[in-house]
Structure 1
Amino acid sequence: MTRTAIDPSVSVGQDTMSSVPALRTTDLIGRDAELEQLTAQLGIRTSGAGRGQGDLLDPTVRAMLVAGDAGVGKTRLLMALRDEALAADWQVVAGHCLDLADSSLPYLPFSEVLGRLMSDVPDVAARVLEQHPTLARLQPGRRIRSSETASGDQALDRGNVYDAFGDLLSAVAQQAPLLLVVEDTHWADESTRDMLSFLFSRPLPGVALVVSYRADDLHRRHPLRRQVAEWSRLRGVDRLQLEPLADDDVRRLVRALHPSTMSEAEYVSIVDRAEGNPFFIEELVGATWSGQVPGELADVLLVHLDRLDETTRRVVRLVSVAGRQVSHGLLSAVSDLDATELEAALRTAVEAHVLVASRGGTYAFRHALLGEAVYDDLLPGERVRLHADFVSALGEGRAVGTAAELAQHARRADDRPVAVHASIEAGEEALAVGGPSEAATHFLDALELIDTARTPFDDVDAHALTRRCAEALIAAGRVPKAVKVLRARLATLPADGAAIDRGQLLTALATALLLTDTADDPTEIAAEAIELLRGGPPKLLAQALFVRSRGLGSWRADEARALAVEALEIAERNDLTSLAVELHTTLAGLEADDSSSPGPGWRAAADRARRAGLIDAELRALYMLGRFHHDDGDLEAAVEVYGEVIERSEVGGLVWSPFPAESRLLLAVVLTHQGKLDEAWELLDVSGQNPPMVYEWLFFAHQMLITIGIRGESHAKALERLRDYWGTDGLTAISAGSAELMRAVAAGDGAGALAIYDDVVAAVVPLWHEWFQARLRLSTIAISAFAAAAARQSADERESAAVDVERLVADGGRVIDFYAPYDGSHGPEYRMWVARRAAEHLRWRWLAQVQPPTAEELVDAWRAAEETSLAYGSVPEVAQARVRLAGVLRATGDAAGARVVADRAREAAHAMHSTSLLAELTAQGSAPSPAAASAETAVLTPREAEILALVAEGRSNGEIGKQLFISTKTVSVHVSNILAKLDAASRTEAAAVARRRGLLDA
């Protein structure tokens, strides 16, 4: 927004803050509202007022107190305020207080101010010094050590100094308004504080005063605390408390500091640990993460402990060992202090703003990073001893705590038996309350302790624990990690090990592999498990039969049905209710024939699971029901059921388990087909939610399909980053590859499209199979790119391209042949792409003049493409088909028909903000019909008119949002609607159109 880096030449323009060190980023992020408040209240700039005003603009206050914790961004905000003042033709001068302990120089910031003014306005300063010789004693050069002894007539009279300095500021302000900034007054000496009291209480024409201080340094006995309260009561003095940055602003700052790719987990870690403090954010981003607080930041944080007595420091160290939060009872049980001493130390720590106390009787560090820094500063032996004290207190029942707390302390105290059993208990507790991710962490800790122990844990079944850990990982959406854990456990089994151990691990592995993209065959792994478990525990055998049945599915329906029935008989005979419900879900899909639909069966299975309280089985049944509606072309029903899956997963704490996570993606896909692109994009915006990596990039891939593929925006680097994940997730490769292909179509790059198509196929085939269904769509889009290029190619180039096009057509044909025997795969979306493939091929032959079709064949093919798109209900595909149909109709002489079709396509393109479709219409010579043109003078809503006026003033979305008290995302949606209604390509064009139509005068 404004520059904050220091330019040495700025002092020529009356900037005397150039002694402030340069900041790490030149952007002011998340402080628009605060800057607006300062400039408006001080009269530097008011809403609607122009820049370059030479006079003070009727301020509501003449002095501001700016408070905030260390590192929260006070200096950065004041630098931006300086820029605003300079832009309004103000003068700016600043003084700084320094931490010189008890030997501060009196009036130190005002000496700095005087020195600056003598340099920048020497005539004015000399005139005032002549009138007030006493002021000369504050000159910086007169304050160094000398052998002279101050005589009585040299002593400063406070009254004279106050008057002299006030006259100096007034004289300077006669030239232009003056902004006086005094920073870090928490370090101010008594004389400086008294001078400020004088300036606060005495208005000086043309002078605005801003004083900053650290709020966290103002403990109860701090001398500035009382004076701040007094200053705040004075007329014309206001106070601005600078709060931590909001999470969205933290992310913006992280992106500004670290433009390269960062995972959502890394974002969440920084947001959580930095607590909105810009200095903390900069240090965490800038440091190479090692698990500890960066050294420079730790040094700054630990300064808070220097003013505490030794007893209080001991208690603070104890709190750091306890973790994020600790109860008074647990502290009392662990501390060797008596009740009075402990309470006194805690009170001191709270008053010093090191700890905060809650009404629930717990204590925590005011800044979590301070707690980390204190803990990192402990000696290794000291940590082990203190953790052992906590283990003793919790284990003996002298204090109340959780299994997770006991596990943490036991692990860090190297008490392995206690740590293993407490970790397992904590994992089960986490699963019981819907915390699969936390449960998996506890189980993994227990497994690591077991595997690295010198003596075996005979009372713990490591194989069953591994299977339980895998279940928790899958529930948390971390399927690849579950596969890795299971494979590692299988590798430890001896060749002559128990069949039951190997069988249950193979069943768990096959279950996990069914939920991820892999080159392995989970059905073969399940078959091996079945053979190992014949004659074993019924539950384990039934589970293996169930997993193989799921893997075979409709591809080998008869065999799958037989396995499921066998497993169901075992489950019902042994009262395995949960497994029986899961098997009913599987059979619901297998028992349907040509005359019946699996939909009712899946709904019945979901209801049965809900009544039994089996959330996993319910989610799977609902997911299958949603897929059925989706594949059947009933998009409204699919939206409803996918939404139900997501809602129910939130109740069970399984938001990122595979079925709800994939339902979120598929819901976004359906919304995209319905033309609700903003809703789809926002649904997949998982900022702050810390999803598993695979879903983070999968969701981002579909967002880029919307942004780049459909809307035609340019974010090339985003697609490059996504390529790293093509080889591990087929859907990511298909979504991101589709976006790249659509961009190649818009650019008319057939060769580039073919290379992209080959790359996607190379990535997906090892994970799925050679003729996966989406290959039909991908090859069709690639053919479209060749058609777009044909008009600009020579005859030789077209002849060369014919080989590639025929290969793509053949690939699509093989997909059609592969799925021909499976009637269930011939849904409306499939039929849409079959029709589009034929139409795109004819279009290429027509444009390339290679065995060109007749006009009637071409029109019929694109009519069929339009009809099948309409039957499926895909708004983007209907619009695309109509754009191509309009071009064909115009070329074949049906201008009137072309205009009607083009107007419909244009309407959809505007609604979706698709610049690529609009550009294609323009390129083929399409223009709105008179009726459509008049309709485009749509009336703006009151909110849109209000936002348009601010856009015309050059305001950013963030500034508009803060002024109107709405989110930046909401502003972005309104701006997009305004651009569409005005048929404008940019904000600047929208403002010009609005002025031309008189919309800004209304």
Structure 2
Amino acid sequence: MASDVDTAPLVGRADLLKSVRSALLDDVAQGHTAAVFLTGESGVGKTRLLREAGAQLRDAGALVLTGSCLDIGDASPLHPLLQALRRFDAELSSSHTRTSSAVRALLQMFADETAGPDGAGALLERVSRGLHLIAEGRPLVLVLDDLQWVDRSTRQLLLYLLAGLGDLQLSVLAAIRAESLQGAHPLRRVLTELRRLRSVRVLDLAPLDRGATEQLAAAVVGRPLAAESADQVWQRSGGNPFVIEELARDLRDGRAGLSETLREIFLARVDALPQHAHAVVHAVAAGVEPVEHWLLAQVVRLPEQELIDAIRATVAHRLLVSADDGYRLRHRLVAEVLADELLPAERSALHRRYAEALTSVEAELHQARLAHHWRLAGEPARALPATVAAAREAERLHGYAEAHRHWSVALQLADAPTVGARTVDRADLLGHAAEAAHHCGEHARALALLEELAGAGGMSTCALHIRRARYLAAAGRSALAEAEYRRALEADDCTPRERATAAAYLAELLLHLGRYADAGRRAREALELTAVVDGATSEVVLASAALGFSEAYLEDPDAGLAVVRRALEIAEQAGRPDDVACAYLHLAELLTGPLNILEEGVVVARRGAERVAELGLGRTYETRLLAIATNGLFRVGQWAEAEKVVAAALRHRPSGADAVELLLARCRLSVGYGDIEAADRDLDAVATVLAGGGARHVIPLLTLRAGLAMWQGRHDLARQAVQRGLTESRSDDVAILAALVWHGLRAEAEAHAGRTVPVDRTAVRRLRDVADRVARKSEKAARPVRDVVDGFLALCAAEVSRLDENEPELWARSVAEWDRRNHPYPAAYSRLRQAEALLARRSRVATAGKLLREAYRTAQGLGAVPMTSEIRTLASRARVTLEEREPSRGRDTAVDPAGDDELATLTAREREVLAAVAEGLTNREIGQRLFISERTIGVHVSHIFDKLQVRTRVQASAIYLRTGRG
């Protein structure tokens, strides 16, 4: 059957199409991602533009997958992607067996997916790998219509892929109905955040102007319009292309006068249909699109030839569109017009026929679709099992938001008078609905369902209190959560295992509230309770972590460390993978966090990563442990090793918070190295992931943005990032807040020194107020935490002095603070500023020279190119020699210029790269060997050339070979 094809030209959108192609294909570098979101009112031409753009991108060599989101009431997790894959598979010819095999393998993966230890993150990673196989090296474009109805799982997948975590050259082109983004629609926040990124464009599709309106109408009619008719079309359409075309067809077909409304247009068109065609269009309007031919045949119950003739009539009257996968209404406005044209009994009968037809076939059953039809057919008893099956199907694919909606519908259905109380366990439904709401962040709803469950007597009192406390804690209502844990401990029906669980979770909560002594007491109580409970390893690990951190904060770090080490031993003896992983994670966090024993913490984190990888928890716990190791290595100045570790962790393609931690860690290295493009790319990736939520990472993200902007000389951008951090985040972490404040004050000091932008005195006052608040809060923190905060506060005080006198003594204090903690990067920065202050006063020039040389050695050793450059500039201006030479011992004792000293300025990573260059490897080959990007290798090679003062790879290789390293 011929499909309905748009014969009207695409008017007034040529420049927009060119912009879309450029943004999604021409301007996207290999391995990068991009997105264009089209917004506009209904009928403005979004779907047509998607189709035209998709065709152009396909002609340009891209692999284009096209899907549509369903109305949220009927959505299943990842529905538009599944639809796109099925469409693509149907289009593949027999000559594309390899691609077809990859598509079907991915579809089978969805069918087989089960909840595993890595959860939703593993699903995202497997989907991205499947898409990578399907793309076969081509650019991949996902074209999605009606994104305002996107399910949460698809939204998370898009953010994961757009962040570059799927290792795909991916572009997304999506259309959004503007009038749907009202109130607290989740997509509004996502688009607000994504608009900030250079790789994302949000284009508002405006109605056509009068000239384009007349051009389109004339093309449909086949001749220029009379002035009166042109004026009527313009006034009644408002430039909406869909309405223009429909009004123009009325003119073309000789209808007397133009219809006043779309309703009149479509009702007149439906009334003109033959009787059977009338039934067809109403049946499709009641269905979930696309409506397959076999399904429509069972619903309208016509002989085949009569059905085909009826469908042809609806297509000819431009009410339906025919495609390989079924029939759709030409526009959703048609459904809105037809909504009130059937009697309630007629609508119910149509939905009943759909449900009966779907139940009768031996094929993959779309449970959400079946539940939808039984429910609208007025058959709650038959809708209930399908709804429960749809909820379980959503949970299997980790779509907890969709599962929560289905469980909620199931509860409504269970209350129907026709559903017998014995056919359903309402308490079971309540329990599932509450847990799904908890998992998808609907905390208030989870608590309300739990209250209803309590009233139904579906749980013991103690278990109810524990579960309520979990939900309250997740909602940030800590005081109420604490009260619930206490009630659980006092409940008469509390078993020893439940009592141990409640005490352990309460200890963890008290620790987060900063009540270290109380946390320690509860942790000891939990450990005593676990002594008489078999198999309570999880509670032992949790309580030990709380006790360990409590002791560390209360100035007894050795005792706390011993407890956590013992918990790791117990977890290893029990052998449960999650417990072993948690124990390693707590130990590494304790060492690198409050205890600030960085070297040992890094060793534990890396050893733990190896162990949990053996246990099959690579994507989650291994990546978290490697993120801890990376940050520790960065702080102690082992940047080259940190680069290796973070590259190894990112090979797991983590998602969510795990990915954010690693991307931020890699970005710190890039900012330090001066690799601006790599740092920008990682920051955009983090911002993309965080568009779906993640407030605790906002300050680290904006702190790095500020640091990068300052090395670029963009002090205004640095100021904006810091002010946004102070405004948008309410973090209580004094250490990360202190780092943000330092960057803010440094930006103002740099602006003052460079005279690039005026100093914002209001911002300075605000930053100093925040610094004072951080100082007061940190007084109650543990000694190691106070040490880190004191270091940043010393930097803050010294930066403030740069706005006036620039006091060397304040910088000397900062040097001492950071040297004492063995943090070479901020110590080198402080030496640079101390030397700058001394030279400005023309005093103690020898001391300033010594400080610059010490800072230079550190910066060179780290590979910190921007800092090295600034040191050189200051040294040159002050005529300070940075390279210390040994005193001459006579004419015959000169240093051999071909000795190892030529490589002394290179970092460990740069020496590895130089060795590979000397082998004749390309940047890509070196990147594959060292597990880092080709672009990062290019940055290292540039640094090597700069340090060795050469211009070619041959010259650099000659120096390497001359030293005897080759």
**C-alpha deviation, 1:527, in angstroms:** 1.0
Task: Give the Cα–Cα distance (whole angstroms) in 2 for the partners of residues 574 and 942 of structure 1.
Answer: 53
2:603 to 637, 640, 657: 640
Partner amino acid, structure 2, of 1:737: L
How far apart are residue 598 of structure 1 and its match?
Answer: 0.6
Aligned to 2:478: 522
Please give the alpha-carbon distance, in whole angstroms, between the structure 2 residues aligned to 1:759 and 1:28: 29
Size of the aligned set, in residue pairs, is 641
Q: What is the CA–CA distance in structure 2 between the aligned matches of 1:654 and 1:469, rounded to whole Å?
A: 24
- 1:253 to 2:210 alignment: no
CA distance in 2, matches of 1:941, 1:742: 27
| Corresponding residue of 1:813 | 772
C-alpha spacing 1:590/1:672, structure 2 compared with 1 (3 Å):
closer
- Taking structure 1 as reference, are residues 930 and 914 closer, same or farther at Cα in structure 2, changes over 3 Å only? closer
Q: Does 1:742 align with 2:707?
A: yes
Alpha-carbon distance in structure 1 between the residues aligned to 2:356 and 2:861? 63
Structure 2 CA distance for aligned equivalents of residues 420 and 263 of structure 1: 23
Aligned partners of 2:702 and 2:722 also within 8 Å: yes
Q: Map residues 859-878 of structure 1 onto 2, 5 A cutoff.
A: 860-878=809-827
Aligned pairs for 1:360-759 within 5 A: 447=407, 450-451=410-411, 453-454=413-414, 455=419, 457-458=424-425, 461-465=428-432, 481=441, 483=443, 486-487=446-447, 489-490=449-450, 498=457, 500=459, 504=463, 507-508=466-467, 510-511=469-470, 520-528=476-484, 530-531=486-487, 534-538=491-495, 539-540=497-498, 542-553=500-511, 555-567=514-526, 575=534, 577-578=536-537, 580-581=539-540, 582-590=542-550, 594-595=555-556, 596-631=558-593, 632-650=595-613, 662-677=624-639, 680=642, 691-708=654-671, 711=674, 713=676, 725=690, 728-746=693-711, 753-759=718-724
Once the two structures are aligned, what percentage of the paired residues are identical? 15
Alpha-carbon distance, 1:611 to partner: 1.9
8 Å contact 2:791–2:814 — kept in the other structure?
Answer: yes
CA apart distance, 1:634 = 1.8
Contact 2:388 2:410 in 1 (8 A): no
SS in 2 for 1:773: helix
Q: Secondary structure at the match of 2:637?
A: coil
Deviation at 1:416, TM superposition (A): 7.1
Unaligned residue ranges in structure 2 (runs of 5+):
1-20, 32-55, 63-91, 101-128, 145-153, 178-322, 329-349, 375-381, 886-894
Q: Deviations over 1:728-784 (max 9, x none)?
A: 54442221121133245446676765554332223332xx44x73322222223222
Specify whether residues 422 and 740 from structure 1 end up closer, same or farther in structure 2 by C-alpha distance, changes over 3 A only.
Answer: closer
Equivalent-residue separation in structure 2 for 1:254 and 1:524 (angstroms): 49
Amino acid at match of 1:552: L
Residue 421 of structure 1 and its aligned partner are, at CA, apart by 8.4
Deviations 1:337-370 (A, max 9, x none): xxxxxxxxxxxxxxxxxxxxxxxxxxxxxxxxxx
Of the candidates 133, 136, 157, which is equivalent to residue 265 of structure 1? Answer: 157
Matched residue SS, 2:559: coil
Match for 1:549: what amino acid? A
In structure 1, which of residues 897, 902, 907 is the aligned counterpart of residue 852 of structure 2? 902
Report if the CA contact (8 A) 1:602-1:621 is conserved: yes
**Is the contact between residue 730 and residue 764 of structure 1 (CA under 8 Å) also seen in structure 2?**
yes
**For the residues of structure 2 that align with 1:73 and 1:762, how far apart are their CA atoms?**
44
* Structure of greater relative contact order (alpha carbons < 8 Å, 6+ residues apart): 2
Aligned-partner residue type, residue 945 of structure 2: L
Asked if the contact 1:605–1:621 (Cα under 8 Å) also holds between the matched residues in 2, the reply is yes
TM-fit CA distance, 1:982: 1.7
Q: What is the rounded CA distance, in whole Å, between the counterparts of 2:525 and 2:912 in structure 1? A: 66
Is 2:762 aligned against 1:762? Answer: no
Decide whether the 8 Å contact of 2:865 with 2:943 is kept in 1: no
> Does structure 1 retain, via aligned residues, the 8 Å contact 2:839–2:845?
yes
Which secondary structure does the structure 1 equivalent of 2:826 belong to? helix
Contact 1:936 / 1:981 at 8 angstroms: preserved in 2?
A: no
Correspondence 1:958-997 to 2 at 5 A? 958=924, 969=932, 971-983=934-946, 991=951
Distance 2:673 2:134 in 1: 26
Tell me, yes or no, if the aligned pair for 2:404 and 2:437 is still in contact at 8 Å. Answer: no
Look up the equivalent residue of 1:821 and give its one-letter code: K
Summarize deviations over 1:645-682 as a string: whole Å, max 9, x none. 4445445555566x766544333321322334465467
Q: Using the alignment, how far apart are the partners of 1:965 and 1:540 within structure 2?
A: 51
CA separation of 1:218/1:564 partners in 2, compared to 1, >3 Å: closer, same or farther?
closer
Give the Cα separation in 2 of the matches to 1:275 and 1:793: 42
Write the deviation string for residues 925-977 of structure 1: whole angstroms up to 9, x where unpaired. 447635589755679979747748989xxx8x55x67xx98588364454333
Decide whether aligned partners of structure 1 residues 577 and 25 sit closer, same or farther in structure 2, where only a CA change above 3 A counts: closer
| C-alpha RMSD over aligned residues | 6.0
Instruction: Work out whether residues 568 and 584 of structure 2, in 8 Å CA contact, stay in contact via their aligned partners in 1.
Output: yes
One-letter amino acid of the structure 1 residue matched with residue 707 of structure 2 = M
**1:535 maps to amino acid:** D
Measured against aligned partners, the alpha-carbon deviations of 1:283-328 in whole angstroms (never above 9, x if no partner) come to: xx456699xxxxxxxxxxxxxxxxxxxxxxxxxxxxxxxxxxxxxx
Map 1:302-321 → 2, pairs under 5 A: none
Distance 2:588 2:130 in 1: 42
Q: Note if contact 2:571-2:580 (Cα within 8 Å) is conserved in structure 1.
A: yes
Distance 1:807 1:73 in 2: 53
Is the CA contact (8 Å cut-off) linking 1:779 and 1:808 kept in structure 2? yes
2:472/2:481 contact within 8 Å kept:
no
Pick the structure with greater CA Rg.
1
1:727 and 1:619 mapped to 2: Cα distance? 27
Q: 1:636 to 1:897 in 2, by over 3 A?
A: same
The answer as to whether partners of 1:832 and 1:868 remain within 8 angstroms in 2 is yes
Distance 2:589 2:608 in 1: 11
TM-score (norm. length: structure 2): 0.53
CA distance in 2, matches of 1:949, 1:811: 53
Q: How far did 1:549 drift?
A: 2.4
Residue 596 of structure 2 aligns to a residue whose secondary structure is coil
Specify the alignment match of 1:305 in structure 2: none
Corresponding residue SS for 2:492 = coil
Q: 1:567 to 1:834 in 2, by over 3 A?
A: same
Distance 2:23 2:506 in 1: 61
SS at structure 2 position matched to 1:845: coil
Q: Residues 788 and 489 (structure 1 numbering): CA distance in 2 closer, same or farther, change over 3 Å?
A: same
Q: Select which of 798, 810, 833 maps to 1:884.
A: 833
Q: CA deviation at 1:267?
A: 7.5
Amino acid at match of 2:864: S
Is 1:836 aligned to 2:795, yes or no? yes
Q: Distance in 1 between matches of 2:734 and 2:624?
A: 18
Return 5+ residue gaps in structure 1 as ranges.
1-20, 32-70, 78-185, 188-212, 220-242, 291-372, 393-404, 431-436, 474-479, 848-852
TM-score by length of 1: 0.51
Residue type of the alignment partner of 2:599: E
One-letter code aligned to 1:556: R
Shift of 1:499: 9.4
Match for 1:778 among 740, 744, 757? 740
